[in-house]
Amino acid sequence: MSENKVPYTGKEKIRFNVPPFTGREYEYVRQAVENQKICGDGEFTKTVSRWFEERTGTAKCLLTPSCTHATELAALLADIRPGDEVIMPSFTFVSTANAFVLRGGVPVFVDIRPDTMNLDETLIEAAVTEKTRAIVPVHYAGVACEMDTILEIARRHGLLVIEDAAQGVMASYRGKALGSIGDYGCYSFHETKNYSMGEGGALLIRDPAKVERAEIIREKGTDRSKYFRGQVDKYRWQDFGSSYLPSELNVAYLWAQLEVAEQINRERLDRWDQYYRLLSPLARAGRIELPTVPEGCVHNAHMFYIKTADERERAALIAHLRANDILAVYHYVPLHSAPAGKKYGRFCGEDRYTTRESERLLRLPMYYGLTAEETELVADKVKEFYGA
C-alpha cells in the first residue's frame, strides 16, 4: 500500500466516487489528537474558517457537521415560520427542502433550465406570493445559477437568498465565490464532494451584522464564542439554539485537502475537459447531450454528466458500463414527485424539464485521483454503446 492510498475492497474497477485523500490526513488528525483538542472550534477549525473567509470575502464561515445542518442553521437565522414559502428547484437533494420543512416552511418548487439543471430564473417571480420568505438556488454540478437576476428579484420583493452551494466549493459566478453571493451560503464536505471531512459543511455569512446571532444559535443558544474570544466574562443562554460544531478530528482531515485545493481543482477540471473532448463527437452527432457552463460561470468539475435520449436508453447504458466494471449513476428523483414532497411542498407552474431531464441525466465516474487512462476507458465504453 502506497503512502497516500487507502486499500479498496469493492467490486467495480472504476468506481463512481472515491473520497478525496491527499496523504497528509493522518498527520493532521494525529496533530488534532496531540493538541488534546478534539471537540469543535479548535486550531484546525480556525484555520479552515479563515481560509474560506479570505477566499470568499464573507464576514464569517461557520463550520458545521454537514451541509444539511448549515441549511438548517440558515433556516433558523431566516426565522422561517409555519406557512412561510421558500422557492427552490425540485431537482435537488432532500436537505434543501427539509431544512425549511422542519420549521414549518413550505417548499415551492419551480422548474429548472434544461441546459444547467438549475432553477429557471425567469420563472421565479411568478412563484412569489405574500408568504414567500426566501429563494434557495442550488448550484448544480458546481455551475452557478443566474444570480444577478435572482438577487434582483429578491431585492424587489424583500426576500432572503440562501445558496445551496453544497457542490460549489471553488466555483464562481462573475468573479464571486458560490456561497458568498446571497445572504447565506451552504457548503458540503461529505465524502462525495470535492473536498471532504467524511461528514461536514459550512455556513457562509455575507453580512457582518448577522454573525453574532449565528454564532449563538450554533453554540447551543449561548454566547460561548464571545467568551472564548475574551469578549465576555461568562457565557449565558441568550437565544434558542442547537449544536452545529464539527469535531476537530474531521476538520483536520479536511485541511489536508484545502492546502492543495488548487491542485485538486485543476486535476478534476483536466478530467472533466477530457470527458468533454472525447464525447463531443457523440454530442455533435445528436446521440447525447453534454453539460453547459454559461458565460461568467467558472465551475469546479464537481461532476461530469451526459444526457441520453430517455430513461430506457440510460438504463441500457448503465448496464453496458456495469458489464465493463464501470459504475455510472443517475441523480435526484424530483422532490415534488416523492411522498414527502407531495405532503409538504407544491410545484408552481409547469414541470416542463424537471422530470424529463432528470430521467435522462447520467453521471460518469469523477473523483480526485481518477486517471486520464480511466477517463478514456469510460468515454470509450460510452462511445461503444452508441456504436461510435
Of 368, 188, 344, the C-alpha closest to 271 is 368
**Smallest gap from residue 381 Cβ to ligand PLP (A):** 26
Q: Identify which of residues 95 and 250 has a Cβ nearer to ligand PLP in the complex.
A: 95
* Interface with ligand PLP in residues 281-320 (CB under 6 A): none
Q: Identify which of residues 56 and 194 has a Cβ nearer to ligand PLP in the complex.
A: 194
The DSSP symbol for 64 reads E
Q: Identify which of residues 45 and 92 has a Cβ nearer to ligand PLP in the complex.
A: 92
**Smallest gap from residue 386 Cβ to ligand PLP (A):** 29
Residue type at position 172 = S
Quick note: the x/- pattern for ligand PLP over 91-130, rule CB under 6 A, is: -xx-xx----------------------------------
**Smallest gap from residue 14 Cβ to ligand PLP (A):** 22
Sequence-distant (6+) residues with CB within 8 A of 130 are none
* Interface with ligand PLP in residues 32-71 (CB under 6 A): 66-68
* Assigned C-alpha cell, 118: 438549475
* Interface with ligand PLP in residues 154-173 (CB under 6 A): 164, 166-167
| Dihedral angle, C-alpha 39, 208, 165, 197, nearest 10 ° | -20
Q: Identify which of residues 112 and 382 has a Cβ nearer to ligand PLP in the complex.
A: 112
Report the 10 Å Cβ neighbour count for 372: 11
Contact indicator for 167, 188 with CB cutoff of 8 Å:
yes
Rounded-to-integer distance, Cα 140 and Cα 143, Å = 6
Rounded-to-integer distance, Cα 47 and Cα 78, Å = 27
Q: Identify which of residues 199 and 223 has a Cβ nearer to ligand PLP in the complex.
A: 199
* Assigned C-alpha cell, 288: 447525447
**Smallest gap from residue 63 Cβ to ligand PLP (A):** 11
Instruction: Catalog residues that contact ligand PLP under the rule CB under 6 A.
Output: 66-68, 92-93, 95-96, 138, 164, 166-167, 188, 190, 201
